[in-house]
Amino acid sequence: MDTVAAPTENRTRTTLKTADKALMLLNFFSPETPEFRLSDLARAAQMDKVTTMRMLASLGSAGFVEQHPETRKYRLGTAVLRLARIREASFPVISVVQPILDALTEVTGETTHAGLIAGTSITTIAVAEPHRATRVFVDPVQPLPLHATASGLAYLAHLPEDRLCETLKRLDTKPFTPLTLQSETDLRAKLDTVRANGCAVSSRTFEAEVTGIAAPIFDWHGAVQGTLSAACIASRLTDDLQNQIEHHVLRAAVKATRAMGGDPPSRLLALIETRETNRKAQS
């Protein structure tokens, strides 16, 4: 016997799909494109203008977008700021992570940053820069793609298999450089290496002269929720320096996890201890 969905269930599914599309529109706003004309946003989202206008009207009534009175362009509204303040006040991530990043930058001499997962990308929440002329600039409002950055790989590598499969299906694995990983086979092989190493190393896959070194941050349930990373000038990294930075990033990520009330997995702690033992034996 065929099963027919109830009208209420159908309406719920439609409402959820509409909400997903409306929230997706917010992701198109960026420092490079802070404002959109209706037609341009509809084209970027691959939706018709009527649907896009209806969703913008809903977002506007809640304060998530606003329209310039003269140019009629849409931009992010003040509700975004209100939610950001509520998030930080109730769960003060930035104030907890920033001192850890400052210390990590001091010992590595490289730009460091922390991020939390947001959909299929990492959102940067804090950055620390070294006092040197040549350094990597991390734009705090630029989403970090999961497939092309060390931050993203560190996150993916510590997902349970069911969530990993779901996330990989939703990824847009567009190339940023000739070295960007694009196929699921290549990504999974890289993730195996990340798990064995404890942290992710991704060189010249997002930006041509940058090597990222990242480790996961876990929540109080032991689930990965974000990452802590060092963004290094690729040309000045030696094998020994890279190993040192990996060591510092791993220890800083564990410290950040605990400072945020999280619980690092015992397997990761054991791996860090093994790496520490090997470092001492080689020195």
Cα angle 49, 55, 60 (rounded to 5 degrees) comes to 120
183 and 110 assigned to the same domain: yes
Query: Measuring CA to CA, which residue among 82, 142, 81, 113 is closest to residue 212?
Result: 113
Domain assignment present for 257: yes
Domain assignment present for 223: yes
Neighbours of 32 (CB within 10 A): 8
CB 99 within 8 A of CB 228: no
Domain total of the chain: 2
255 and 137 assigned to the same domain: yes
Query: Measuring CA to CA, which residue among 148, 149, 97, 89 is closest to residue 127?
Result: 97
Domain assignment present for 86: no
* 253-259 contacts at long range (C-beta below 8 A, 24 or more positions apart): 253/199, 253/215, 253/216, 253/217, 253/227, 253/228, 254/215, 255/100, 256/96, 256/97, 256/100, 256/114, 256/217, 256/228, 257/217, 257/218, 259/96, 259/97, 259/100
Range of the domain at 187: 91-282
Domain assignment present for 243: yes
Per-residue pLDDT in tens (0 to 9) along the chain, 283 residues: 454 555 555 555 555 567 788 888 888 887 678 899 999 999 988 999 999 999 999 999 888 899 988 899 999 888 887 887 776 666 667 888 999 999 999 999 999 999 998 888 999 999 999 999 999 999 988 889 999 999 999 999 999 999 999 999 989 999 999 999 999 999 999 999 999 999 999 999 999 999 999 999 998 888 999 999 999 999 999 999 999 999 999 999 999 999 888 888 888 899 888 888 887 777 6
73 and 184 assigned to the same domain: no
CA 176 to chain centre: 16
- Residue 117: helix, strand or coil by DSSP? strand
- Cα separation of 222 and 225, whole Å? 9
67 and 98 assigned to the same domain: no
Domain assignment present for 122: yes
146 and 258 assigned to the same domain: yes
37 and 107 assigned to the same domain: no
Domain C-terminal end among 81, 106, 123: 81
237 and 121 assigned to the same domain: yes
Given the structure tokens 């080689």, which residue do they identify?
282
**Going by C-beta distance under 8 Å and a sequence separation of 6 or more, which residues neighbour residue 249?**
104, 108, 112, 199, 213, 214, 215, 228, 229, 230
Assessment of whether the complete model's pTM goes beyond 0.75: no
Q: Tell me the HSE value of 182 on the side-chain side, using a 13 A CA sphere.
A: 7
124 and 214 assigned to the same domain: yes
140 and 31 assigned to the same domain: no
Query: Measuring CA to CA, which residue among 148, 142, 108, 127 is closest to residue 249?
Result: 108
- Cα separation of 61 and 211, whole Å? 43
Q: What is the CATH number of the domain that holds 165?
A: 3.30.450.40
59 and 114 assigned to the same domain: no
- Residue 3: helix, strand or coil by DSSP? coil
Domain assignment present for 52: yes
Given the structure tokens 């800083």, which residue do they identify?
252
219 and 237 assigned to the same domain: yes
Task: Write down the H helix ranges in the chain.
Answer: 7-26, 38-45, 49-61, 79-90, 93-108, 150-157, 161-170, 184-197, 239-259, 266-282
112 and 217 assigned to the same domain: yes
Domain assignment present for 2: no
State the burial class of residue 203 (Cβ atoms within 10 Å of its Cβ: 0-12, 13-18, 19+).
middle
Domain C-terminal end among 46, 81, 116: 81
Q: What is the CATH number of the domain that holds 58?
A: 1.10.10.10
Domain C-terminal end among 27, 53, 81: 81
